[in-house]
Amino acid sequence: MICFPNAKINLGLSVTEKRPDGMHNIETCFVPVPMYDVLEIQPSGSFSLKLFGLPLPDKLEDNLIVKAWNILLSVKKNIKPVEVYLYKNIPGGSGLGGGSSNAAFFLKSMNSFFSLGFSNPDLELLAAEIGADAPFFINNKAAIATETGNIFHLIENPVYEMHITVVFPNIHISSKDAFAKVIPVKKSNLTNVLKSNISNWKNYLKNDFEEIIFRDFPETRNIKNHLYSSGAEYVSLSGSGSSIYALSTRPLYTEYFIGKYKIWTGVVK
């Protein structure tokens, strides 16, 4: 079985409070975007994971697919082992949710391949044990996310059919470190801003991590400015970084970035 786990972007990201458990509540809009890894699953005598493509900073045993496999084993003792091949195209530490997407698509594929009988709500509960944003990729549709990013309200995609340009500056950002630096602010007007014309977003749709990442890595601010200069309607950091994405009504001029950074382009569906 082969599937293609996709990335996501965040339209706005407000960190609203630190929880008693040490995690943070947020408000954001997750949107799936056309950047893909490749995941192949084959029956095998024992479980294994082989990685190809872009290197990842974590150890193989810490990969979220391994975590997903162990979670499945905890609820379905008789699952047959599989050999997993993962080609990484979505960079780690980029704020694009690649690791969570891989794990969620692994759960969905295993459920389908072996007829495990899990419903989508069941899969969301399993994915929630993997990471806060992993449940999003079960339904994989535009949604407002609250709490730790694991409570979803599906919405009409506010950037449907817009061109997207994603620039990855080859910087790995630790989400844990980024959250440690952010100052929570309770108020958020995300839903109202998303309903407004995209021309308003530049001034009102904010990602609370931007100033932290721009301060620590000034080249990310430079990328944002160049994307606006190229004709983008809206430009933002995705998640806690380090990728910068641009939304536009037409393809952007990206020659400035060639040879410096990794670039992806497509149309949001």
Q: How far is it, in rounded angstroms, from Cα 39 to Cα 36?
A: 10
Please identify every residue annotated as catalytic.
8, 133
What does the pLDDT read at residue 83? Answer: 98
What pTM value is reported for the model? 0.95
Q: Counting every residue, how long is the chain?
A: 269
The domain that contains 32 carries what CATH number?
A: 3.30.230.10
The total domain count for the chain is: 2
Residue 221: strand, helix, or coil: helix
Supply the pLDDT for residue 108.
Answer: 98
Contact in structure between 27 and 256 (CB atoms under 8 Å): no
Q: Do 118 and 202 belong to one domain?
A: no
* Residue finishing a domain among 154, 180, 214: 154
Do residues 256 and 227 lie in contact, with contact meaning Cβ atoms separated by under 8 Å?
A: no
pLDDT band at 56 (very low <50, low <70, confident <90, very high): confident
- Please determine, for residue 58, whether its predicted confidence score (pLDDT) is greater than 90: no
70 shares its domain with 102: yes
CATH number of the domain enclosing 247 = 3.30.70.890
172, 141: one domain: no
pLDDT higher than 80, residue 240: yes
Q: Once rounded to an integer, what is the mean pLDDT over residues 4-30?
A: 94
Q: Which of these three, 89, 120, 154, is where a domain ends?
A: 154
Residue 153 tokens, joined: 């309200």
Q: Which residue range(s) make up the domain with 170? A: 163-267
The 3-state DSSP class for residue 196 equals coil
**Considering the chain, what is the average pLDDT of its residues?**
94
> Which domain-ending residue is among 154, 181, 205?
154
Residues 183 and 140 in one domain: no
The Cα 16–Cα 148 span in angstroms is 10
For the chain, how long is the longest CA-to-CA vector? 56
- Tell me what pLDDT residue 168 has: 96
Q: 244-267 pLDDT, tens per residue?
A: 999 999 999 999 999 999 999 999
> Percent of the chain having pLDDT more than 90?
85
